[in-house]
């Protein structure tokens, strides 16, 4: 049982389509109080897993009152169902821009004040965000990137753990959709070498400069041990999606080199226990 919720304009409908394409039974804008009835009527065939996905959001509160939290809480007691809440969000400027481009009205907007509606909705749904199993921030994702991200979400429900590694630059902001964040700005910065500055962590001279540091070697050894310890335990607890963010100043050199090396290690060595699906994203690599 997957519940998709979050901010209007953040991408809930696209996430629902990804699950629908994968064969899940999907319902958009379901009144929260009806969730238990849907589960009671859902066909369950012996030997086959049943997947139900519903979108609940501010539209439900508008017409049915403060039932969203109550409806979701009732799922916890439904025998035979494993509820997971996915909360989808984006920052205020991104949401405002999307509504301007689409010329669609915000469902909570009064007198055309979209920004006030977004901030009010964010405040009203803060409780749902707190109890969500997965939070996805679509602010920096293109339409194609968002589609791939939601496809990975669907894939992560196949009893495998999806591990995502994200490099980023702190000066461009911290990604919101990470489970763990590590700062590698303690390492010497290749940016200050005129020959390395125009290159990236994909280039061999930068990789050699970063990975050849003794501190980097010790850091990676400890990080590999940490992941070898954590990943099986996350999987055992039923977690299906784990995102590790590694940040440096600009997101082009140190973080990229380290993410790539860590990805290579996980592809070659893996971790004991669960099967994992590995995804790599360099958020700020294209930023000058």
**What is residue 72's predicted lDDT score, i.e. its pLDDT?**
63
Place of tokens 């939290």: 69
User: What kind and span of H or E run contains 25?
Assistant: strand 25-27
Q: What is the pLDDT of residues 130-166, one digit of tens each?
A: 888 888 899 888 888 888 888 777 766 555 678 889 9
User: What kind and span of H or E run contains 209?
Assistant: helix 204-211
Q: What is the pLDDT of residues 179-215, one digit of tens each?
A: 999 999 999 999 999 999 999 999 999 999 999 999 9
* pTM passes above 0.85: no
Q: Which of 107, 251, 281, 234 is nearest to 168 (CA)?
A: 251
Residue 197 domain-assigned (yes or no): yes
Q: 158 with 44: CB under 8 angstroms?
A: no
Among the three residues 155, 187, 205, which one is the final residue of a domain in this structure?
155
Looking at the structure, tell me whether residues 14 and 90 fall in a common domain: yes
Number of domains in the chain: 2
Q: What is the span of the domain harbouring residue 167? A: 161-282
Side-chain half-sphere CA neighbours of 85 within 13 A: 21
**What is residue 220's predicted lDDT score, i.e. its pLDDT?**
97
Residue 171 domain-assigned (yes or no): yes
pLDDT-flagged residues of the chain (< 70): 43-50, 59-82, 155-160, 238, 272-274, 288
Q: 200 with 258: CB under 8 angstroms?
A: no
DSSP 34: G
**What is residue 160's predicted lDDT score, i.e. its pLDDT?**
66
């Amino acid at each position: 049982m997957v519940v998709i919720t979050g901010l209007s304009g953040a991408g809930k409908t696209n996430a629902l389509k990804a699950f629908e394409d994968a064969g899940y039974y999907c319902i958009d804008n379901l009144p929260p109080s009806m969730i238990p009835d849907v589960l009671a009527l859902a066909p369950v065939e012996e030997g086959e897993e049943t997947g139900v996905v519903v979108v609940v959001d501010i539209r439900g509160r508008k017409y049915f009152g403060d039932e969203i939290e109550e409806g979701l809480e009732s799922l916890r007691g439904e025998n035979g169902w494993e509820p997971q809440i996915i909360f989808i969000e984006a920052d205020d400027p991104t949401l405002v821009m999307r509504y301007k481009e689409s010329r669609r009205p915000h469902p909570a907007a009064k007198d055309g004040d979209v920004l006030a509606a977004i901030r009010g909705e964010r405040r009203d749904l803060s409780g749902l965000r707190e109890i969500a199993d997965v939070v996805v921030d679509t602010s920096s994702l293109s339409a194609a990137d968002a589609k791939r991200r939601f496809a990975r979400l669907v894939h992560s429900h196949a009893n495998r753990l999806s591990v995502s590694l994200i490099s980023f630059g702190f000066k461009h902001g911290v990604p919101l959709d990470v489970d763990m964040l590590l700062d590698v700005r303690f390492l010497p910065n290749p940016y200050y070498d005129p020959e390395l500055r125009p290159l990236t962590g994909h280039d061999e001279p930068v990789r050699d400069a970063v990975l050849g540091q003794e501190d980097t070697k010790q850091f990676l050894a400890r990080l590999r041990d940490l992941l070898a310890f954590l990943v099986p335990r996350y999987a055992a607890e039923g977690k299906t999606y784990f995102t590790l963010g590694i940040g440096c100043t600009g997101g082009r050199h140190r973080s990229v080199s380290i993410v790539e090396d860590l990805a290579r290690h996980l592809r070659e060595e893996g971790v004991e226990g669960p099967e994992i699906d590995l995804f790599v994203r360099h958020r700020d690599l294209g930023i000058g």
